[in-house]
A and B are shown apart, each in its own frame.
Chain A
């Protein structure tokens, strides 16, 4: 295995799926001739043709709904939505149809659909291209929500997502596409959170784009003699509460890092579960490091200020007296 980028890892996963299952096709804005907004699908049109690498009009609701219908019709669509901000135009289809059809139909209609989209800030693209709204989707029963943070997960999560008989949303943090690593050959599961760094003093819970922040903070803390354990949620719904609680029971302290806004966020959910299930293991209140509650500003220094940074996480850990 050689070193590849996150972008290449996703592309390899899609290519493998297209080769191994003729029910799989890719559909979205600029996935074909343009090569993918983030160049994920570059070259696939040439290899698989326009029926399977299907450029769509700017109709998020229309083509996400069409993905749902195609899934009902026996296909295994991979629908790409450019960014999570644009997915709001398809929220009706995702929520009212994809997530609800199985239940509403009394178990008759599965929607084996995969929707991928970019999320997150860091590229100075301001308030309509930068938000982390995956927590909203994690609110919805009937969906499985994934946040691959590593090259391995970027490479390996798609196959089981396509095997899932129910709708799966995959959130790819835009800042991760250029990161590099060496994927392993092993299959991954879609149920469990992962301990990305062992440690005894404090648990830092993160996912997607904030995993790097958490690991960076752990490194700084190590130099100060604080041994941080880092949990990567990987699956935002259903949450692997057992792994989170087990980790906190070991370190007795927890910081949750979330690029979403604090109020009503995924970090709030994780913190609640920790207090519900590990309250007596805690030596300090659960801390959270989230994005500032503003629409994302353009200016670099302001964007940096909004996003959770390594220093913020380090400061939160120090403040809890680890």
Chain B
């Protein structure tokens, strides 16, 4: 596979680069601390249902989102809190959604797995494994037909690669040369089943390449590498280079969902991956380069803690959607001509 061309980060000066790296670190910390707080809220039963955390995988969401433009579209999965926050959905609206409040980004209709926000072109939040891929192809088809130079970034896991919809979508995107950036978060497991037990070919970027699609592997624990690969790939996609596939090799530190007893992998495996924690790695780098001192880090943590507390208060003060609105939005409000 040909990869992105080195780390030709677009930030040209050293200062710009430092600033970018700190921003990426801050974004990852925001997501990490937010999800840690969600665990607490889950134990207190403020959040219910399925809750899928992406602790350990933050570099994927942050790296890709930082490479996109406001005009681009995002299609994500049920493990999408990080993607939503990194895309710019407010922490308030995100947490209110997790708590089922009408102030949530989906009015409390969706919950953790179905975050939506039309204003940031965030098209969900899809809990059918691979169900978002064909939709992403269609969003890109619309851009193609209208002559708009936009990217549709579609996130999915390694498990999705086994679904027929994955293959149908890859073929359609490549056949029609559509502007889709396929972002595969390969965390090696689909629930409790390791990739080696489900795929005859475990090199996922090879599968993508078989569709004659540019296909790159990237260290999903290195936010700079992800951001740079996503930047080069999305530039190529936007300028008519056809769909691109990014396989981000990553790992989730926590269980699949709050229900998962995590019996299927060795604790030592988790510990090994934790040594490559995207937040830990970048922090160490920035501190060793003197870009960041402890006080800066404390400052970031304090800002993030304040934002989270504000979101928690906002969600707690949120309201239930009135029962009378239960059937609202099953279909659109009546149009004058066609509906009684």
Contact = CB atoms under 8 A, between A and B. Distances in A.
A66 B134 CA distance: 5
B109 A160 contact: no
Interface string B136-156: 111111110110000010000
B123 A109 contact: yes
Given A75-B142, A92-B131, A144-B331, A62 B114 contact: no
Contacts of B340: 191
A28 B106 CA distance: 32
Given A96-B131, A106-B109, A106-B110, A72 B139 contact: yes
B328 A93 contact: no
Interface string A105-141: 1111110000000000000000000000000000001
Interface string B162-192: 0011001101100100000000000000000
B139 A69 contact: yes
A215 to B, nearest CB: 27
Nearest to B97: A106
Interface in B165-221: 165, 168-169, 171-172, 175
A144 B109 CA distance: 21
Interface stretch (A162-170, A244-252, A289-297, A301-309): A162-170
B211 to A, nearest CB: 12
Interface stretch (A8-16, A30-38, A53-61): A53-61
B329 interface: yes
Contacts of A104: 106, 109-110, 114, 116, 124-125
A97 B337 contact: no
A74 interface: yes
Category for how many chain A residues contact B? 35 or more
Q: Name the residue among A64, A93, A107 with the largest chain B CB count within 10 angstroms.
A: A107
B128 A92 contact: yes
Contacts of A65: 131, 133-135, 137-138, 165, 168-169
B332 interface: yes
Contacts of B330: 102-103, 141-142
Contact of A102 (B108, B331, B337): B331
Contacts of B126: 96-97
Interface residues of B, number: 49
B137 A62 contact: yes
Interface in A67-85: 67-75, 77
A92 B138 contact: no
B33 to A, nearest CB: 26
A70 B331 contact: no
Nearest to B106: A106
B118 interface: yes
Given A105-B124, A106-B109, A62 B331 contact: no
Q: Name the residue among A59, A64, A109, A190 with the largest chain B CB count within 10 angstroms.
A: A59
Contacts of A105: 106, 109-110, 114, 116, 118, 124
B117 interface: yes
Nearest to A105: B116
A3 B128 CA distance: 47
A177 interface: no
B298 interface: no
A61 B168 CA distance: 8
A90 to B, nearest CB: 9
Given A57-B175, A103-B329, A106-B109, A160 B337 contact: yes
B335 interface: yes
Nearest to A96: B128
B339 interface: yes
A51 interface: yes
A51 B106 CA distance: 34
A72 B331 CA distance: 15
Contact of A189 (B124, B134, B152, B338): B338
B332 A108 contact: no
A103 B109 contact: yes
A71 B138 contact: yes
Contacts of A57: 168, 171-172, 175
Given A65-B133, A190-B338, A59 B171 contact: yes
A101 interface: yes
Given A65-B169, A191-B340, A106 B107 contact: yes
A261 interface: no
B124 A101 contact: yes
Nearest to B125: A104
Interface in B98-133: 104-110, 114, 116-118, 123-126, 128, 131, 133
Contacts of A56: 172
A144 B339 CA distance: 12
A70 B125 CA distance: 18
**When A and B form their complex, which 4 residue pairs have the shortest distance between CB atoms, in order from nearest?**
A69-B138, A65-B134, A73-B142, A62-B168
20 contacts: A56-B172, A57-B168, A59-B172, A62-B171, A66-B134, A66-B172, A69-B136, A69-B137, A71-B142, A72-B123, A72-B139, A77-B138, A93-B131, A93-B135, A102-B330, A105-B118, A106-B104, A106-B116, A166-B332, A191-B338
Interface of A: 25, 51, 56-57, 59, 61-75, 77, 92-93, 96-97, 101-110, 141-142, 144, 160, 163-166, 189-191
